[in-house]
Amino acid sequence: MNSEVPIWAKAAVKSILLSVKSKDPFTYYHCCRVGLEAARLGAFMGLDSFQQSLLEYSGLLHDIGKVGIADNILLKPERLTDEEFKIMKGHSELSVLMIEPLVEQDRFFKLLVPGIRYHHERYDGKGYPYKMSGQNIPLTARILTIVDTVDAMTNTRPYRKALPMESAEKELLKYSGSQFDGQLVSQYLRSKQSKEVPLEDNLVSSEFLKVA
């Protein structure tokens, strides 16, 4: 079974993300940060380099479907209405749809689909789009849920100021076992306290974050 990242993956994903950046720079940098943090957490957990790459690339691509959301919703400078939020919730499936040509080309991209598709599922089954719960939610998605939420909380949007990391960590603990996998929350918090996290040197997320 092939367990390698295709040599063309970086270029393909960079092309997609630059298209995202042209419409919504916040989503671009959010995806880069989530990819980086997901890989870091995977490294801290002792996952192998291939699994770390799956986490990183899943994070890089998890929100790309937002380019398919109308600007008046995606870029709205205040909170969304219930109807607008319903439309926004379709972004994970749009993200999967956008990488279908890549999925058809290589098994690596097929393995990214679960993390991308299910990153808004909740451990208690109250998430979307399929209301999966517990260990039925793929590990990649459970990890992305945590790093995605933390990044969203700790970065300013037009309708909401960024929270300090301490507040984000309190939210993780508050919803540990309901929104989040409690064991992964513990791993994440330990990783943030660790002075050194083992990490592969060839992360593409770091490079993409430097794009002006």
One digit per residue, pLDDT tens: the chain, 212 residues?
567 999 999 999 999 999 999 999 999 999 999 999 999 999 999 999 999 999 999 999 999 999 999 999 998 988 899 999 999 999 999 999 999 999 999 999 999 999 999 999 999 999 999 999 999 999 999 999 999 999 999 998 877 889 999 999 999 999 999 999 999 999 999 999 886 665 655 689 999 998 86
pLDDT on residue 162? 94
CB-based contacts of 2: which residues, under 8 Å, 6+ apart? 107, 108
Q: How far apart are CA 8 and CA 29, in angstroms?
A: 21
pLDDT on residue 211? 84
Closest C-alpha among 87, 93, 91 to residue 73: 87
Give, for 104, the enclosing helix (H) or strand (E). helix 100-105
Q: Which two tokens stand for residue 116?
A: 């991308």
pLDDT on residue 159? 76
pLDDT on residue 198? 59
pLDDT on residue 201? 55
pTM: 0.95
CB atoms within 10 A of CB 105: 15
pLDDT on residue 160? 81
Helix, strand, coil tally for the chain in percent (to 5): 65, 0, 35
CB atoms within 10 A of CB 11: 11
pLDDT on residue 177? 97
CATH superfamily name and code, 23-209:
Hypothetical protein af1432 (1.10.3210.10)
Domain range list for the chain: 23-209
Q: How far apart are CA 97 and CA 65, in angstroms?
A: 8
pLDDT on residue 199? 65
